[in-house]
Amino acid sequence: MLSYRHAYHAGNFADVLKHVVLVEILQHLVKKDSAFDYIDTHAGAGLYFLNQAPVGPGRGVTGQGARPGEHRDGIARLAAAEWPELARYFDILQRVNADGSLYRYPGSPLIALHFLRRQDRAWLFELHSRDVALLERHIAQNPLFRTYRTGGLRARVLHEDGFKGLLALLPPISRRGLILIDPSYEIKTDYARVFDALAAAWKKFSTGIYALWYPVVERGRIDSLEKKFRTSGIGNIQRFELAVAADAPGYGMTAAGMIVVNPPWTLMAKMSLLLPRLVDALGQQPGAFYQCDILAGEQERK
């Protein structure tokens, strides 16, 4: 039923954008001592092995491979020494690649766990049964997690539909939170479900930070999604998009973006500086571009 796996695209340009934004938000949240909740609606396997073919159904597995090559046009094009403003992102990559090479790439759950403290909680939803097993294994084998677990870190893997499970967790006891929503979009209804899920969640927890990832395969679908946000009555919405090629229906994913509700006040300035450089570094065709704009200001909140 579910053919998509995060592993097929691990470390590509879309992952770079998503995880740069994720790290920036998490760095903001840990500036305060007060607890926060991290909710990942489509967590995946948590850790991916690059340069390996994806694992097929019914085969034994100790890890999950990415589609060979996609990371070469993504994270492999970036050198840590040239991106000091992304030091924490590269520090996490180094921690999962202890020998200095790039053969593993962390998914959003493992990135988040590098920031969580004993007072924070993580809720990791994943519907794919094999990815759930991998996620539990990768968390349990992570030395950082083992250290935090002895100190009381609370992280739960939930074998459930994240769209359905999200609302039951809101508002969190901490009253602070980051909700990451990044489904496969292979099911076309996901384009409508992401907005409906976020809008319903915002009604229950309007002060939370929401980070919604989307791929650009057909620009019309993203235009419709953008219009929904602009007219939703939800305030304080920013959009960050990285396109490695001009829009071209049938070409595949030419761009990816993040829509962030209640972003940290520093995020727009940071991404305004990063995105032009990321286009130069990761662009694959002359038509590569970026978008960094405000879909709704704080004054528009109803």
Percent of the chain surpassing pLDDT 70: 87
pLDDT at 69: 72
**3-state DSSP assignment of residue 26:** helix
Q: Which of 65, 43, 302 is nearest to 180 (CA)?
A: 43
d(CA 41, CA 125): 5
**Virtual torsion, Cα 220, 24, 133, 149, nearest 10 deg:** -160
Domain boundaries along the sequence of the chain? 12-47+114-300
Residues 6+ apart with CB under 8 A from 256: 13, 14, 17, 18, 213, 214, 215, 216, 241, 242
pLDDT at 141: 79
d(CA 210, CA 196): 13
CATH code for residues 12-47+114-300: 3.40.50.150
Per-residue pLDDT of 161-208, as tens digits, reads 999 999 999 999 999 999 999 998 988 889 999 999 999 999 999 999
Q: Is the pTM of this model over 0.75?
A: yes
**Neighbour count for residue 227 (Cβ, 10 Å):** 12
pLDDT at 295: 97
H-helix or E-strand containing 9?
none
Do residues 85 and 273 touch, judged by C-beta distance below 8 A? Answer: yes
Per-residue pLDDT of 102-157, as tens digits, reads 999 999 999 999 999 999 999 999 999 899 999 999 888 776 655 555 455 688 99
d(CA 42, CA 20): 18
Question: Which residues are designated catalytic?
Answer: 182
**3-state DSSP assignment of residue 145:** helix
- Asked which of 3-17, 74-88, 119-133, 221-235 is least confident by mean pLDDT, the reply is 3-17
| Mean per-residue pLDDT over the chain, rounded | 88
